[in-house]
Structure 1
Amino acid sequence: MLDALTVAVAVTALALAAWCGYAALRDQPTKDWHFIGMAVVSVLALAQLLIGIVQLARGEKADEGSVIFVAYLIGAFAAVPAAGFLSLSERTRWGSVTVAAGAIVLAVLEVRLYDIWNG
């Protein structure tokens, strides 16, 4: 898998977590700018999902198994959008906290994806 893309997804996810965490500290809900940030992170995660599936289709193998790898790819892709939808229902500072937590989960999933692919 592309290590640079894995790092890019993790770094942008951590930046989103810091940004939304700062908004929560200022007692602000998620705003349009936060959703643009979520879209950027989600597009990177989608690119990673597609590249991972293409690499598996070409015959490359994840060291810890293809099924677990695809499951983690899908979970990584879904983490930030799910948190974004939850933040829409909670229009207080806790919506920002939810997005920050989802972005941190994505960063942790990226570390695990790297471990699954490289052993």
Structure 2
Amino acid sequence: MLDALTVAIGVAALALAAWCGFAAWRDQPTKDWHFIGMAVVTALVLAQLMIGLVFLARGEEPGQGTVLFVSYLLGALAAVPAAALLSLTERTKWGSVTVTAGAVVLAVLEVRLYDIWGSTGA
């Protein structure tokens, strides 16, 4: 697919995890600037989703199957917004921990997306 974007999303997700993890370590809830960071990461993932769908529409095939690839794209899109929503309901340090976990999940999903797209399925 687009390797540079996948790496950028993974790095941004880990940076968000470190940032929110630091806030949790300091016993702070997520603040407005954390939500701006979450929005940036989510925008990158949305761009990845659109690019992935364009690649599929052009006839390119992921190595491990289209359904699996699209499922991971949708899961990646949902990871950070779901964590953001949960952090809004938990206005303690545990909200920051939730976003940290969601961002780490996104980074892992990006590694898996890279593998799904590039592998031959063997």
Task: Provide TM-score, normalisation by structure 2.
Answer: 0.97
Aligned residues: 119
Please list the CA deviations of residues 43-98 of structure 1 after superposition, one character each: whole Å capped at 9, or x if unmatched: 00000000000100100000000000000000001100000000000000000000
The residue correspondences of 1:69-80 to structure 2 (distance < 5 A) are 69-80=69-80
Give 2:82's aligned residue.
82
The one-letter code of the counterpart of 1:16 is: L
Unpaired segments ≥5 residues, structure 2: none
Give 1:66's aligned residue.
66
Give 1:41's aligned residue.
41
SS at match of 1:100: helix
Return the offset for 1:107. 0.1
Return the offset for 1:26. 0.2
CA distance in 2, matches of 1:55, 1:100: 31
| Runs of 4+ that moved beyond 6 A | none
Give 1:56's aligned residue.
56
Give 1:9's aligned residue.
9
Task: Provide TM-score, normalisation by structure 1.
Answer: 1.00
CA distance in 2, matches of 1:56, 1:89: 37
Give 1:91's aligned residue.
91
CA distance in 2, matches of 1:76, 1:53: 14
Return the offset for 1:21. 0.1
CA distance in 2, matches of 1:55, 1:24: 39
Task: Indicate the percent of aligned positions where both proteins have the same amino acid.
Answer: 76
Return the offset for 1:99. 0.2
